[in-house]
Amino acid sequence: MGVTLTILAYNEAENLINLLPLVIENLKKVTDDYELLIVDCDKSTDNTKEVCEKFGAKYVVQETPYYIGAYKTAVKFAQKENFFIMDADFSHSPEYIPEIYNAFINNNADVAIGSRYVAGGENDDESQNIVYSKFLNFVYQNLFGLRGINDISGGFKMYKTEILKNINFMSRYFEAQLEILVKAKIQNPGLKVVEVPIHFKKRDKGVTKRNYFTFLPEFCLLFVKLLIYKIFAKFSKKHK
């Protein structure tokens, strides 16, 4: 058992200094069997390392570039059976950790999602971002067999670590959230996913790393790659 709670961080020390004690406090409400893993960006220029040391969190620098490089580093270093990931900037409130954790454990789930798009969920993002995100979720729900999952693209999630260790990532940025669920579902058609409503808030301190100019073509590219992946997976299953 046990859970690795990981936070990917790119110049987030001023958020982490307030976030980490709350993360620890909330994790302790549900388990003592946890490790806290912070994956810092190789380009960060702040004192994230010192902040992590202050709270006893394991600190590693991402081994390969882009957001996905940090994600892969987190999966590689995760030692526990379950993997909980959240953002560093208070968009994902640590108060939801016990609810998401309990939903995962009590339902014997493979994935638990802190969801902006189920009853009781809220999203404080800009309205054009919400429209884009909802459109993306609609497309993936209907084209990749993920109907019934309302917030595929969010980043506040708990997984069985094994699911992530089995994924050969094709993404570079935040589209990785979609890739994981598409591939996990293809690899395990009986994948059990539960959603817990969350109120997604705007980032507290610091600056965004979201850049639609770079991200949009990557989302389109991933879409095409996943369609091909899906066809190959179907074909190889048929000819087994």
Ligand X SMILES: Nc1nc2c(ncn2[C@@H]2O[C@H](COP(=O)(O)OP(=O)(O)OP(=O)(O)O)[C@@H](O)[C@H]2O)c(=O)[nH]1
Instruction: Pick between residue 68 and residue 191 the one whose CB is nearest to ligand X.
Output: 68
Instruction: Pick between residue 9 and residue 146 the one whose CB is nearest to ligand X.
Output: 9
Among 3, 4, 5, 8, interactor with ligand X by CB under 6 A: 8
Among 4, 6, 10, 121, interactor with ligand X by CB under 6 A: 10
Residues 148 to 207 in contact with Mg ion, rule: CB under 5 A: 203
Query: Could you say whether residue 12 binds Mg ion (CB under 5 A)?
Result: no
105-110, Cβ contacts within 8 angstroms, sequence gap of 24 or more? 105/30, 107/192, 107/194, 108/192, 109/158, 109/192, 109/193, 109/194, 110/159, 110/160, 110/163, 110/184, 110/188, 110/191, 110/192, 110/193
Count of residues that interact with ligand X, criterion CB under 6 A: 19
Amino acid at 32: D
Query: Could you say whether residue 203 binds ligand X (CB under 6 A)?
Result: yes
Element (H, E) at 135: helix 127-143
Query: Could you say whether residue 177 binds ligand X (CB under 6 A)?
Result: no
3-state secondary structure of 66: helix
A 10 A CB-CB count for 86 gives 25
CA distances, 68 to each of 17, 113, 173, 186 (Å):
24, 19, 6, 21
Among 4, 26, 57, 67, interactor with ligand X by CB under 6 A: 67
Burial class (CB in 10 A: 0-12, 13-18, 19+), 200: buried
- Shortest distance, position 109 Cβ to ligand X, whole Å: 23
Binding piece for Mg ion, criterion CB under 5 A, among 69-77, 86-94, 119-127, 189-197: 86-94
Query: Could you say whether residue 230 binds Mg ion (CB under 5 A)?
Result: no
- Pairing status of strand 58-61 against strand 157-160: unpaired
Query: Could you say whether residue 91 binds Mg ion (CB under 5 A)?
Result: yes
- Shortest distance, position 202 Cβ to Mg ion, whole Å: 8
Query: Could you say whether residue 40 binds ligand X (CB under 6 A)?
Result: yes
The footprint of ligand X (CB under 6 A) covers: 8-10, 12, 39-41, 62, 66-67, 70, 87-89, 91, 203, 208-210
